[in-house]
Amino acid sequence: MKKKWFIFTILIFLTGCSESNIEWTDFIEFQGDQYLVSHHVEVSDPNFIGEPIGEIKKTLKDHVTNVKYAPKNGDAAYLKTGTKLYSVINHSYLIAVKDTNKINGYKIYAKEGYVPDIRMLEQIDPLSFKKIEVYEEVDYNQFLYKRLIEKNEELQKLITILQSNEINETVVYREDAPQAKAFTIILYSYSTSPIAEKHAIYFNGENYFDKNHRVFSKEIGEFLIETK
């Protein structure tokens, strides 16, 4: 079976020669498999992080311009050479990498074919949630902790608000708008999963919504403010 390489290429042809600029998808090549970054998850508990299992040997973004290059063991699109790779206990299809920009300290990569983004909001039972953490993104990848929601009544109300939404493709988020705010909520379930689901919620001064243009009731605002 021919293996797919997760890259997108843009070719720019110059007089008498050609020059290529490769835009890589964020991935790791490790022991014959490719692992893709999972943007919408966080490590649910650092105790799930196991021992080092390897390290990055080559950063493709800085060293590869040949569009036919076949990634080798230890290659990564963007991770720096020497970056350590960690196992995730009892989940061999996941690799963890330390990342100070992640709220819980690790970036997660999943083996091709595995999808760790479990989309818990699609579950019907709000009682499957253990707690929800709320953060405000005050700058790019800079998160300010706002509050913890773990009382059953509050959890059920917030989950109901999140599941009850309307699509409105006209809503737009502009971070330079005077009243604009961006929030991140992390949902933890009662399962033994090493990952927690992460959602971004935007406020444009009038509506609360997500990147898929799902608009939520204004009641959600009371859950996004800091508690005293």
- Name the pLDDT band for 143 (thresholds 50, 70, 90): very high
Which range among 13-27, 47-61, 132-146, 212-226 shows the weakest confidence by mean pLDDT? 13-27
The model's pLDDT over 58-106, given as tens digits with 9 standing for 90+, comes to 999 988 988 889 999 999 999 999 999 999 999 999 999 999 999 999 9
Instruction: Give the C-alpha separation, 79 to 35, whole Å.
Output: 12
pLDDT category at 224 given cuts 50, 70, 90 is very high
Classify the phi-psi angles of 175: left when phi > 0, otherwise alpha if psi is within -120 to 50, otherwise beta: alpha
**Strand bridging mode 129-139 / 208-209:** unpaired
- Residue 20 confidence (pLDDT): 64
> Which two three-digit tokens encode residue 188?
């933890």
Residues 6+ apart with CB under 8 A from 152: 127
Average model confidence (pLDDT) across the chain: 86
Q: Which of 143, 7, 162, 165 is nearest to 71 (CA)?
A: 7
Q: What is the pLDDT of residue 8?
A: 43
The predicted model gives 172-195 an average pLDDT of 90
Place 189 in a pLDDT band, splitting at 50, 70 and 90: confident
Sign of CA dihedral 109, 111, 112, 113: negative
The span from the CA of 81 to the CA of 74, in Å, is 9
Res. 16: pLDDT tops 90 = no
Find the mean pLDDT for residues 217-222: 95
Question: Can you give the C-alpha Rg of the chain in angstroms?
Answer: 20
Contact 171, 204 (CB under 8 A): yes
Grouping H, G, I as helix, E, B as strand and the rest as coil, residue 154 is helix
Tell me what the mean pLDDT of segment 210-216 comes to.
94
pLDDT higher than threshold 50 for residue 25: yes
Q: What is the pLDDT of residue 15?
A: 36
Once rounded to an integer, what is the mean pLDDT over residues 177-186?
94
Does 165 have pLDDT greater than 70?
yes
Inform me whether the pLDDT recorded for 37 exceeds 80: yes
Please enumerate in sequence order all residues whose Cβ is within 8 A of that of 35, keeping only pairs 6 or more positions apart, or say none: 27, 28, 29, 94, 95, 109, 110, 111, 112
39 vs 108: CA distance, rounded Å:
8
What pLDDT, on a 0 to 100 scale, did the predictor assign at position 148? 95
169 and 150 Cβ atoms separated by less than 8 Å: no
